[in-house]
Each structure stands twice: as C-alpha cells, then as structure tokens.
Amino acid sequence: MKRKQMFSKKKIYKNLPLIIFTIVVFYIVLNFFLESFRESTRYMISSSHPLATQAGEKILKRNGNAIDAAITTQMVLNVVEPQSSGIGGGGFLLYYDKKNKHIEVYDGREVAPKKAQQDLFLRVDGNPLNHSEAILGGKSVGVP
C-alpha cells in the first residue's frame, strides 16, 4: 500500500490561494513593523500628530533644548487634538541630563480632586449618572 504524500501537487494547488494570502499578509505585517522602526543618534521626537512633532523638531533645529521641544510639542497637541490633550491633563516626561548622566522622570497623571467621594458619579437616588451627565461639567476633570 502506497503512503499518501503529505504535500501532493493536488493539495498544494487546492490550497494555493490560502498559501499566497498568508505570504502576502506576513509580508505586509513584517514590512509595517520594519518601516515603523526608527533610530537616532542625536534626538528623537514622538507625538500623536505630525504637526506637533514638526514643531518640536523646529525648536531643536533653532538650538532649543529637549524641554523647550517637549513643551512646544505639547502646546501644538493642545491645538490640533484638544479632545485628547490639554494643559490640564496628565502626562509623563522622561529627561536625560547628559552632563550629569542623570535621568529625571515626571509622572503627572491626573488624580481626582481631593474632596472627591465614591458617590461622585451617582444621582441622589443612588443610580449612576449617564455618560453625558458624567462627562459634561467639572465632575470628570482630573487634576495634574
């Protein structure tokens, strides 16, 4: 009795579209990750909007320092995406002082106001506020 070949021509031709699809998807995913990888020996700016990144880079090219560039980048983000960014929100900053070889970390995550209680988002009857009631007004504002 002959053993069936695992990869017979018939099976390969039958599964060819799936094989090609898998190769193409693999190539696209691999290419995406390779293209998105960046290196720098001088500086690097990263933000969620290209205009903010460009503004920060402009500051560095005009001999500003990393803090100047970070502040500029954030101020542009406040304008181009006010729904996601603002001077009253939280943030993180990692700064390396090359001269002193020291890293500074700033954790500015927002917290609830000091007088906030567990029932802040509940109605008088104990039921939770609906979404618009909870987000409109000062109840949902965080404090940096």
Q: What residue ranges do the domains of the chain occupy?
A: 8-36, 50-107
**Cβ atoms 94, 105 nearer than 8 A:** yes
Residue 26: per-residue pLDDT: 84
Average pLDDT over residues 95-113: 86
Distance of CA 12 to the CA centre of its chain: 42
10-45 burial, b for 16+ CB within 10 Å, e for fewer? Answer: eeeeeeeeeeeeeeeeeeeeeeeeeeeeeeeeeeeb
Model pLDDT for residues 57-100, shown as the tens digit of each residue:
999 999 999 999 999 999 999 999 988 887 666 778 888 888 99
Model pLDDT for residues 13-68, shown as the tens digit of each residue:
777 888 888 888 888 888 777 766 677 888 889 899 999 999 999 999 999 999 99
- Report the alpha-carbon distance of residue 110 to residue 112 in Å, rounded: 7
Residue 86: per-residue pLDDT: 73
pLDDT at 4 > cutoff 80 = no
Tell which residue, 56, 50, 44, 110, has the closest CA to residue 80.
Answer: 50
Q: Which are the contacts of 108, defined by CB distance < 8 A and separation ≥ 6?
A: 90, 91, 92, 93, 144
